[in-house]
Amino acid sequence: MNYIKNKLSEEYSLKRMHYLMDTFLSIEVFYADEDKAKEAVEKAFREAVRIECVLTRFKDESEVCRINNYSFDKPQVIAKELANLISNCIEFSRKTSGAFDITVAPLIELWANAAKQNIVPSPNEISSLLQNTGYENIILDSESSTIAFAKSLLKIDFGAVGKGYSLDRMAKILKENKIEKARLDFGGHLYYMNSQEHEGEAVGIRNPLCPDEAIEAVTIKNQSIATSANYERNFNVLGRTYSHLINPCTGQPVETDILSVSVISDSGLVSDILSTAIFILGLKQGMELIEDMDNVEAVIITNNRGRPEIHSSRDRALHLPDSRQESAALRKGGGG
Amino acid sequence: MAKVLKKSFTVGLGVIFFLAFYPVRIAQHFYEKVFQGASKTSIGCVEVFAEAFYTVEEALKVILPEAQDIKEETKALSEEQKKSISSKAGVKFNPEFDNEYHIYIGQANGQATGYAFEDTVKGKWGPIHYMLAFDADGKIKDAIVLGLKERRGRPIKERKFLGQYIGKSISDPIKLNKDIKGIGGATISSRQMSSGIRKLVYVFNELYKK
């Protein structure tokens, strides 16, 4: 049955799944030549494994580990690829007024330990860490590919961008291997590759209040969609629930009525960065940020008195009357 | 008189509206009935289905690429060993899947190049069947999922389908029955998988490093 269906649409597909970066990475490709497709998929997986080995903070031999251990004393020469990635990240830190920051890891660890011991970190601890973090303390020389840290406790961490960056690299490798259509899913961060002839594909966005259900659909074509949400990884300290996202500017877990942020762009890296940043910036500032950028869309779901309310950057431009009606209806419903 | 006229006019208008729009509803109702099967599979109701990604042979080629020869072993842990691993690794052994382990040992020039464990953990919607490869020193080389059960999301409210697609390719035709290819924003609970891997690291040390 499946065979006939595939035959009719003249598409054969091959799906593979690995466990990487603490989550599942699945790649589905559509192909004419099965052997070449298998080879391309394995090459893409090798690339993701390679990136994990470079970016991980938890293996002593990784390049990021070396940077974190030695960059305060003297500038370290690093690979061009990593220098470019860091420079991209710093650029986005500036664009997002510091809401996205690759140096936030010590603050995340502080809160993770606090959750384990069930104590709230003292303001002193937080402020001393805040003085030792911040992307402006990274001294990067892109031309000579060297990096140095201005603070001894500074550490860089690519946890927030590793998946997005891998998706971009894998898509590039699949394209180089003549794959025209593919669906990549890296722990809920999707990248769908399509050639010009193919239509865009509809993907769902989860209802943050009921994660088994989709609440919204978007079409993507050669684009990625990354979602930051509050429904999976919150933590409790002294009976109070905190968001797992820490604001790099204040050192505090984010307090917001945003339930989830999905960002659609043609780069996995950009989607990853902006979905985190908008969650921290909030609805108003986040939407302003998106409107200033080209080829980026966002769907923000907020909690409107226990109901999910959808704000999409495209609605603002195209469906303004509708969205007004809808929010009016929601307000009415909520009040009644 | 004018009042009566006005009233009958309103009622008449109501009837006209009813006749104009109700058949659409009926047609829609029948359409949904007739094409129920199609829309349910494509828009995805609550459905759990199994997906296979690799056969054992294919997986071995990927995770033990340098092996010229592969030896198969089946080993079991004693209750004592299980207890000690449970307390050290903080994992629970599943009586269904942890009775014995299938291990594939890749060999080249008479030397072991890597060890691949076949294991199953319970995922959110069903078992996740996977393989974990160690190099000869006991470092994890690769983890590969052979098959799992997954559940696709529930349908999106129709209103959303009709009006609110976003995304760059707005010129693309969006059809009501077009299915949703994936759902972003959350993953299959990967915690079980990480504890499964942690467990196997200890099992490997117990079986091959002592």
- Gap between the Cα atoms of A113 and A90, Å rounded: 27
Domain boundaries, chain A: 70-149
- Decide if A79 contacts A63 (C-beta within 8 A): yes
Q: Average the pLDDT over B109-126 and give the result.
A: 89
pLDDT of residue A33: 87
Domain A70-149 maps to which CATH number in 1.10.275.10, 3.40.50.2020, 1.10.3980.10, 3.40.640.10? 1.10.3980.10
Q: Tell me, what's the pLDDT at A317?
A: 44
- DSSP conformation letters of B75-109: E---HHHHHHHHHHHT----TTT-S-EEEEEEEET
| Touching B: A residues 10-69, CB under 8 Å | 15-20, 22-24, 26, 42, 45, 49
Q: Which of A15, A187, A227 sits opposite B53 (nearest CB)?
A: A15
What span, in angstroms and rounded, lies between the C-alpha atoms of A251 and A127? 8
Domain coordinates in residue numbering, chain B: 52-153+184-210
Query: Model confidence over A177-195: pLDDT tens digits?
Result: 999 999 999 998 999 998 8
The CA distance from B39 to the nearest CA of chain A, in Å, is: 15
ipTM: 0.77
- Would the CB atoms of A18 and B185 count as touching at under 8 Å? no
| CA proximity to B119, closest of B106, B109, B133, B108 | B133
The beta-carbon neighbor of A205 closest among B145, B185, B197 is: B185
CA closest to A219 among chain B residues: B167
pLDDT band at B156 (very low <50, low <70, confident <90, very high): low
The pLDDT-based confidence of A92 (bands split at 50, 70, 90) is very high
Choose between B185 and B200: higher pLDDT: B200
Average pLDDT over residues A1-30: 74
- Sort out which chain B residues have CB atoms less than 8 A from A266's CB and list them: 168
How much is the pLDDT for B24?
60
Can you name the residues that pair with A18 across neighbouring β-strands? A25, B144
Least Cα distance to A171 among A31, A268, A273, A295 occurs for A268
Cα angle A13-B140-A166, degrees, rounded to a multiple of 5: 45
Of A309, A321, A282, the C-alpha closest to A208 is A309
Model confidence, pTM: 0.81
